Amino acid sequence: MPRADDPAFRLFAADPAGPGDDAPPGTPGTGEDVCPDCQGHGRIGGRECATCRGTGIVNKGVGGA
């Protein structure tokens, strides 16, 4: 049973982060990284990249994630 303070629980909760983000921007323990799907371009095949929502940047967990 996931707890609300379990980081994994956020994956199931409605949050403002894009599907490629491990956590919302500004979350302690996370950092920005180049989107692995569009390589930072923000677009794939002329369409906005859904993984980073067109920003080219995703928030990834750091410190061994």
Least separation in angstroms between CB 28 and Zn ion: 23
Q: Which helix (H) or strand (E) holds 16?
A: none
CB 30 within 8 A of CB 61: yes
Least separation in angstroms between CB 22 and Zn ion: 14
Closer of 3 and 47 to Zn ion (Cβ): 47
Report d(CA 51, CA 43) in Å as an integer.
Answer: 10
Least separation in angstroms between CB 16 and Zn ion: 16
The interface with Zn ion within residues 4-63 (CB under 5 A) comprises: 35, 37-38, 49, 51-52
